Structure 1
């Protein structure tokens, strides 16, 4: 979907965008309040200069987010743009702020992915503070700062005390959603216990 939204083929782009619009409608019917999406990403190409690619991707994403804002408002849904991995657009707070300002809508916000910021060498707590006022969803996970490992909090090198303090300072009161991909081979019982301990610790920091 991310690549299709930035396809040079107008038909492919249009089809992908219509599909995204349908998801907003489905979310509304299912009672989903926040729908997390990724920005449009370009496929590597030798046909365009880097500055041309960046300009085109910004134009596409600004156009998309303005249209999505209108549709989301009509259906009572909030669209949350997730920060992604470098080198893609929306991997940094300035990219996300650009879209938020373009949308200028309470129905478009940011989904903070702590692990992605960490791998991108962006302090998650600093990013949260910069995005204050726009955060509507979270994907919480940890890593070693080099790989997108999707580990439970406290399993990598993210400063969770700083992260939770930043959320508190930003006035974020929404759910804290985990996005894990690995538990180091733990048994299901141990996974449950790990989640309980992590949750209790994070709650104590808020």
Structure 2
């Protein structure tokens, strides 16, 4: 299995510290400046300008993490759903302005959903309908901009559920993201399958991965090697993936990026 090239998630102000590593090998970068209300309203243009400046000279692939706090893509309040759509569209505009080709959004699927599949008539269809209400216009605009929305697992138990949601749009502008830590945490908390199963289930729909490690108790975002994840199994599954997903370290402590990279490189998994 040849090693895979990985990059990192950073704010624009954090790129300089890792610039040589990122730019010399044209590594994937995910900008995480555009997630808050302020970042997508009064601060948006300043952040776009600063991000474009920080990315000058970078020849790798770029994505952004979209907003998510309080923005459930399956919101049951019909008055609030258009507000969520509008926020996502603002983020998509920012992504297009800096030349990003992906935007990460959060999955709405949980253990509660999985255990209530047959608890009420049209339970699944109703949820999917609300998701289409919120994301339909965003997917259409993403198609126009040439950007792919990648839906990240948060509390997902069965990876096939999120995959079916993505497939329901019938668009190349929406695909799957996997957060390795979230998948492992769901395994410990909710009986989800191991991380490599998430990867194999995603198949060609996998376009993005957050690489982070943890202890199986909380969402730690530790460097690979500091937690419990079986990284050879994860990258073994990735070796069968033909979609060339963005692969980015998403660590709480950005100073640990070299450490996490070195651990995976020493295992012969990344370059």
**TM-score band (shorter)?**
0.7 to 0.9
Partner of 1:106: 172
Cα 1:137/1:196, change in 2 over 3 Å: closer
Check whether the contact 2:224–2:260 (CA below 8 A) recurs between aligned residues: no
- Which stretches of structure 1, 4 residues or more, deviate above 6 A after TM superposition? none
User: What is the Cα deviation at residue 196 of structure 1?
Assistant: 4.2
Matched, 1:115 2:115: no
Partner of 1:201: 266
Partner of 2:208: 137
> Normalising by structure 1, what TM-score?
0.79
User: What is the Cα deviation at residue 131 of structure 1?
Assistant: 0.4
Check whether the contact 2:76–2:130 (CA below 8 A) recurs between aligned residues: no
1:20 to 68, 78, 88: 88
Higher helix share: 1
Matched, 1:74 2:144: yes
Check whether the contact 1:2–1:38 (CA below 8 A) recurs between aligned residues: no
Check whether the contact 2:152–2:178 (CA below 8 A) recurs between aligned residues: yes
Q: For residues 196 and 170 of structure 1, what CA distance do their matches in structure 2 show?
A: 21
Alignment of 1:26-175 (within 5 A): 26-40=94-108, 51=120, 54-55=123-124, 56-85=126-155, 90-121=156-187, 122-175=193-246
Provide the aligned length of Structure 1 versus Structure 2. 190
Gaps of 5+ in 2: 1-67, 113-117, 188-192
Q: CA RMSD in A?
A: 2.7
User: What is the Cα deviation at residue 66 of structure 1?
Assistant: 3.6
Gaps of 5+ in 1: none
Check whether the contact 2:109–2:162 (CA below 8 A) recurs between aligned residues: no
- Greater relative contact order (CA < 8 Å, ≥ 6 in sequence): 2
